[in-house]
Amino acid sequence: MNRGFTLVEVLVVLVILGITAATVVPALARATEDDDLSRATRDVERVLVTARRTALERAAPVTVTVVPESGRYWVHRMDGTALDSGTVALDGGLRMVSSTRRPRFQFNPLGTADGDSLLLLGAGGARALAIDRWTGGIRVEPR
């Protein structure tokens, strides 16, 4: 009685695994590609997280002001000192929408936060950036 696999059986299994990998790997690569909406959402989230961290590190309130039409933002301390500014790329028909003309997000040195609403709309759907008032944490919904 033989215990083992023949060379033909091993080759058949390897061919099946190769064909499966050849079809699955490109599909996974396409699934993880960044679209404009994901990229812009990540950029806005990065700006807000950095502002929060700065408020905690410097023990001073930090405010982020956004211009939804252009994607422009400014980060400054409450005394008016500018810390950062830039633009979030609104490519591919992407747009920002807010309930206010110039949404502001303020991060306090104790970790609390206060902010307006900000929604990013694109061909791939919509993402809302929400700030937890008590912890200052930033959530993106839906992820």
Domain coverage including residue 124 = 36-141
How many structural domains compose the chain? 1
38-59 tens-digit pLDDT: 899 999 999 999 999 999 999 9
Q: Which amino acid is at 93?
A: G
Chain-wide mean pLDDT for the chain? 90
pLDDT (mean) for 92-103: 93
Across the strands, what pairs with 127? 120
Strand order across the beta sheet in which 138-141 lies: 95-97, 118-122, 125-131, 138-141
Query: 105 lies in a domain?
Result: yes
Query: 22 lies in a domain?
Result: no
Any idea what the CATH number is for the domain that residue 124 is in?
3.55.40.10
Query: 66 lies in a domain?
Result: yes
Instruction: Decide: residue 134, CB within 10 A, 0-12 exposed, 13-18 middle, 19+ buried.
Output: exposed
Query: 77 lies in a domain?
Result: yes
pTM: 0.76
